[in-house]
Amino acid sequence: MEPAGVPPPSCAPAWEAEEPPGSPTLPAECPRDGEPARKAREGAAAAERSRGLGPTGRAARGGEERGARAGRRPRVTVDSSKAKTSLEALKISLRQLRWREFPLGRRSPCDIYWHGVSFHDNYIFSGQVNKFPGMTEMVRKVTLSRAVRTMQDLFPVEYNFYPRSWILPEEFPLFVAEVRMMKESDPSWKPTFIVKPDGGCQGDGIYLIKDPSDVRPAGSLQSRPAVVQEYICKPLLVDKLKFDIRLYVLLKSLEPLEIYIAKDGLSRFCTEPYQEPTLKNLHQVFMHLTNYSLNIHSGNFIHSDNVNTGSKRTFSSILCRLSSRGADVKKVWSDIISLVIKTIIALTPELKVYYQSDIPAGKPGPTCFQILGFDILLMKNLKPMLLEVNANPSMRIEHEQELSPGVFENVPSPVDEEVKVAVIRDTLRLVDPQKKKRKDIQSQTSEHVSETKEDLLDAGPAGGLEHDTSRNTEAGLPSLCLKQVFPKYAKQFNYLRLVDRVAALFIRFLGVKGTTKLGPTGFRTFIRNCKLSNSNFSMASVDILYIDITRRWNSMGIDHKESGMCLQAFVEAFFCLAQKKYKSLPLHEQVASLIDFCEYHLAALGEKRPLCGRGTAERRSAVVTCPTDGLEVTAAHTPLLNCTAAAGKCADCRSHCYPGAVSPGAGRD
Ligand code: ADP
């Protein structure tokens, strides 16, 4: 599709419009003559002036001191010393919010720590940090592909938004065999594949191939694994150019799962007209790869001075063009929201393992949130496909421009500024610790305690309690650009969260705080407590299963720091056990049945033994709970529902020092 022409001044329903149940939809908003950009630029200018204590900065500080004397609430404090390239956008956001920035850090704790790279940028013991432990590892190309593959094994239709992928070098023979088989069954199939080195970014090391034999030598693959993926040959084109979408997603909390999506993102364009891949054009990166970092070096790159044109535009401007051509933009949004929620559901099990390892029960804070960059390609038929997830999406709001040959200068990029400042500012508004305190107080004193959670969620980010409580501080700020999609649409997606429940079992038996791998004793205890061994499956077979699977996963060279069984290996063992026990069912039903079976026996064991005290367990319970919504429980386990529900009420006991779990120190061998 190649729509042309000027977008209509306003398309799509209002942002606050309620979606029909069953079709999550974010409405598109057309940018109005760059007005948001102008406002953002004014904010930026104000921030610039106040930096170094210009007139605005002095006024603000004076106001703060007067406020403190008058007994007004203190301002939220943010440590920006590790913000790196997101610093400019962060500064503007903090200025707009009138929060207090500590650019060099602070001796006493801050409310929020803004890290440019990872959770570990700083040693933090309290407050909130804008990164989750393990996120960088989780979204690497190989790890993401594995996590999505597990979900594809369980729910192939739901997870068909990720191109068929193979992990090199270990799956090279499988890749060759599967391609040969597919070609034999359909001789007209002329595929193209894209090879992407693990841990690469900005198109680094990526190349296209027509045949598995074109994969470059295995010697380099050994040191740098890669993902080879089916190439999407028919992308949607605008102005004859291929483009992708960078969408910003806020993972506000892991447990309970809370996801927000920014209502606008960026579209990054190729700089050569697109042609379907042939042997002749395979190497033309400006035609096939949409990376900004590559295309900026093309003579055809156009810096956008407004949001509707150029090589980097807002996503909303694309949607407006599509809408003006009669495309179902609501459906596009709905599919994108599903893709985002499903991808995060694939990532959460392992993230929880990392989380309990870095912030074990009993260790003080911090809590985490994170902005993720989702790279999405729209196919010609408007189906969104996931390309990758970025743990550190660029938050730069300026770009390099070549003024004269060889002379470069950083100039402001209005498109980046408009989108990114809003995302950072509104993330901060959503995690505002003072708002949470006020909310807690309000919920204690509120007369409207009978108001259901559902009512609040339905009000969405633009309404509801979250925003009412801060009306004063937020006066003058635009409505939130981040829209909650989970738990808002939890009912539609909770049935997918099976691996989360398997991970909860895994974490329960890990035993020693700070570990991410299960030892053989832990695995045996799991089998014993869940009553999984019998005359057909002896403890000797259990040991063999453990050794076989663990050895294979460890030989893939994923993580040599610790010995033992990693979560993916445990998941594989769990699937094996499920297939053994419930032979005739589809895989996801086998797995669901085995989870129910295990939870039933663990809960029963819990009832027989004395429960442990609360206190220390509270933090852990925040990490591991087992969602059961939307899952069918077999008749044989119906009594479990009551006892799981009861156990759920004291989830802290169940998850932290569950009586059947390995006691600290006993899990390592
Ligand atoms: P990087 O992290 O190096 O940017 P990506 O996975 O984002 O790696 O791939 C780089 C670019 O290659 C994408 O922006 C997109 O334009 C293109 N691309 C990646 N995977 C595919 C695919 N399966 N089909 C078509 N194009 C793809």
- How far is ligand 1, taken at its centre, from the CA of residue 234, in Å? 14
The continuous run of DSSP H or E covering 543 comes out as helix 539-555
- How far is ligand 1, taken at its centre, from the CA of residue 272, in Å? 16
User: What's the pLDDT band for 88 if we cut at 50, 70, 90?
Assistant: very high
Residue 308 has phi, psi (to 5 degrees) of -105, -5
pLDDT in tens, 559-608: 667 789 999 999 999 999 999 999 989 999 999 999 999 999 999 998 77
Return the amino acid letter for 71.
G
Given this model, what pLDDT does residue 556 score?
80
270 Cα nearest atom in ligand 1: 16
Mutate to test the pocket of ligand 1, among 142, 145, 194 (most ligand atoms within 8 A of CB): 194
- Nearest protein Cα to ligand 1, atom 1: 201
Sign of CA dihedral 633, 639, 642, 647: negative
- Nearest protein Cα to ligand 1, atom 20: 387
User: What's the pLDDT band for 36 if we cut at 50, 70, 90?
Assistant: very low
Nearest-angstrom CA–CA distance, 192 and 23: 33
Mutate to test the pocket of ligand 1, among 238, 289, 311, 376 (most ligand atoms within 8 A of CB): 289
203 Cα nearest atom in ligand 1: 3
Mutate to test the pocket of ligand 1, among 387, 388, 389 (most ligand atoms within 8 A of CB): 387
pLDDT at 182 over 70: yes
Mutate to test the pocket of ligand 1, among 206, 227, 236, 287 (most ligand atoms within 8 A of CB): 206
pLDDT in tens, 352-374: 999 999 887 777 779 999 999 99
- How far is ligand 1, taken at its centre, from the CA of residue 202, in Å? 9
Return the amino acid letter for 526.
F
Residue of 174, 237, 532, 533 whose CA lies nearest to 382: 237
pLDDT at 51 over 70: no
Q: Which residue has the tokens 């084109």?
A: 237
Nearest-angstrom CA–CA distance, 352 and 370: 14
Nearest-angstrom CA–CA distance, 470 and 73: 12
Given this model, what pLDDT does residue 308 score?
80
Nearest-angstrom CA–CA distance, 32 and 586: 51
What tokens does 204 get?
A: 């680094």
CB proximity list for 500: less than 8 A, separation 6 or greater: 345, 348, 349, 352, 626, 627
Residue pair 414/34 in contact by the 8 Å Cβ criterion? yes
Residue 655 has phi, psi (to 5 degrees) of -95, -30
pLDDT in tens, 408-437: 888 899 999 999 999 999 999 999 998 877
Torsion of CA 617, 622, 628, 630, to 10 degrees: 170
Q: What average pLDDT score do residues 368-384 get?
A: 98
| Global pTM value | 0.81
pLDDT at 466 over 70: no
Sign of CA dihedral 343, 348, 350, 355: positive
Count of other CB atoms within 10 angstroms of residue 136:
18
Residues with CB under 6 A from ligand 1: 163, 194, 196, 200-204, 206, 229, 231-232, 244, 289-291, 375, 377, 387-388
Nearest-angstrom CA–CA distance, 329 and 26: 9
Q: How far is CA 129 from CA 252, 366, 419, 455, in A?
A: 11, 7, 22, 29
pLDDT at 115 over 80: yes
Beta strand segments in 446-584, E: 482-486
Residue pair 416/396 in contact by the 8 Å Cβ criterion? yes
